[in-house]
Amino acid sequence: MDILQITNLQKRFGDKVVLKGLNLSVPEQSIFGFIGKNGAGKTTTMKMVLGLMNPEEGEIVVAGESVTYGQTKTNRHIGYLPDVPEYYSFMTPAEYLIFCGEITGMKKEELKARVRELLDLVGLGGEKHRIKGFSRGMKQRLGIAQALLNHPKLLICDEPTSALDPVGRKEILDILLAVREQTTVLFSTHILSDVEKICTDVAFLNDGVVTMQGRLADIKAGYRTEKYLLETERESDVALLLEACSDCKRIGQTQIEFSEKKHTLFEMVQYITNQRIPVLKIERMEPSLESLFMEVVAK
Ligand SMILES: Nc1ncnc2c1ncn2[C@@H]1O[C@H](COP(=O)(O)OP(=O)(O)OP(=O)(O)O)[C@@H](O)[C@H]1O
Ligand SMILES: [Mg+2]
pLDDT for 197-249, tens place per residue? 999 999 999 999 999 999 999 998 888 778 899 999 999 999 999 998 888 89
Number of Cβ atoms within 10 Å of the Cβ of 254: 17
Which residue puts its alpha carbon closest to atom 13 of ligand 1?
Answer: 39
Distance 41 CA to ligand 2 centre (A): 7
Q: Which ligand is closest to the CA of 205, given by its number?
A: 1
247 Cα–ligand 2 center, Å:
45
Mean pLDDT over 107-122 rounds to 95
What residues flank ligand 1, with Cβ below 6 Å? 13, 18, 36, 38-44
pLDDT tens by residue, 78-106: 999 999 999 999 999 999 999 999 998 89
- Can you tell me whether residue 128 is helix, strand or coil? coil
Give the C-alpha separation, 255 to 231, whole Å.
Answer: 4
Cβ atoms within 10 Å of 216's Cβ, excluding its own: 20
What is the structure's pLDDT at 298?
A: 65
Output the CA–CA distances (angstroms, integers) from residue 207 to 16, 24, 44, 131, in the order listed: 12, 15, 14, 38
Query: What is this structure's pTM?
Result: 0.87
Nearest residue to 241 (alpha-carbon basis) of 275, 191, 210, 214:
275
Instruction: Show the CA angle centred on residue 90, arms to residues 117 and 151, nearest 5°.
Output: 25
67/108 Cα distance (integer angstroms): 30
Rounded distance between C-alpha atoms, residue 146 and residue 81, angstroms = 8
C-alpha span between 2 and 83 (Å, rounded) = 24
The mean pLDDT value for 6-30 works out to: 97
